[in-house]
């Protein structure tokens, strides 16, 4: 997992694969506040989903992982906790991997940790990064605008 800000991702010490860099450039160059929720093509099979929703108590959020895509979760407005842990045999599977939806769900993060996503911040989550999005910060729910870019592993 890599966490950063959209305005400074090129200045950091991380060298992103070209597909990730293009996705971050796409995020930086859009005004999502004036766009409708929905799916937008970034390049090839890489796409972005713009969504507005209310965050939820952490206990109501489900840890998940993907196999075919890297997630780039980018906060436009509001803030949320994204829970995180590395994939390990200590995780208990709640729902087996669904290939059509590219997702498996887990009972809990082991160990449990949270990353605060605020406007302009992103998290790059690889298949080994089990994550729990949509978490209310300090238990206070709020409306957020977030974009999740799906980058196929095959593009890396």
Residue-wise pLDDT tens digits, 20-48:
999 999 999 999 999 999 999 999 999 99
Q: According to the model, what pLDDT value does residue 15 have?
A: 86
Contact 42, 26 (CB under 8 A): yes
Query: Which of the four CATH numbers 1.20.58.110, 2.60.320.10, 2.60.120.370, 2.30.30.180 does domain 2-155 have?
Result: 2.60.120.370
Strand partners of residue 48: 40, 149
Contact 63, 109 (CB under 8 A): yes
Span 126-151, pLDDT tens digits: 999 999 999 999 999 999 999 999 99
CA separation for the pair 110, 85 (Å, rounded)? 6
pTM, two decimal places? 0.95
CA separation for the pair 141, 134 (Å, rounded)? 9
Q: According to the model, what pLDDT value does residue 11 have?
A: 82
CA separation for the pair 43, 118 (Å, rounded)? 26
User: In the chain, what are the domain boundaries?
Assistant: 2-155
Span 52-108, pLDDT tens digits: 999 999 999 999 999 999 999 999 999 999 999 999 999 999 999 999 999 999 999
Q: According to the model, what pLDDT value does residue 14 have?
A: 80
Does 13 score more than 80 pLDDT? Answer: no
Distances (CA, A) of 19 to 40, 47, 49, 122: 15, 11, 16, 15
- 4-27 average pLDDT score: 91
């Amino acid at each position: 997992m890599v966490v950063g800000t959209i305005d400074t991702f090129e200045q950091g010490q991380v060298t992103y694969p070209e597909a990730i860099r293009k996705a971050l450039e796409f995020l930086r160059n859009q005004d999502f506040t004036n766009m409708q929720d929905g799916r937008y093509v970034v390049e090839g099979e890489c796409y972005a989903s713009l969504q507005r929703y209310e965050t939820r108590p952490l206990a109501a959020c489900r840890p998940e992982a993907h196999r075919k895509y890297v997630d780039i979760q980018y906060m436009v407005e509001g803030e949320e906790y994204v829970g995180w842990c590395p994939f390990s045999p200590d995780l208990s599977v709640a729902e087996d991997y669904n290939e059509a939806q590219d997702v498996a769900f887990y009972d809990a993060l082991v160990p449990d940790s949270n990353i605060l996503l605020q406007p302009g911040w992103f998290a790059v989550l690889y298949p080994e990064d089990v994550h729990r999005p949509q978490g209310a910060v300090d238990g206070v729910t709020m409306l957020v605008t977030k974009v999740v870019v799906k980058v196929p592993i095959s593009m890396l």
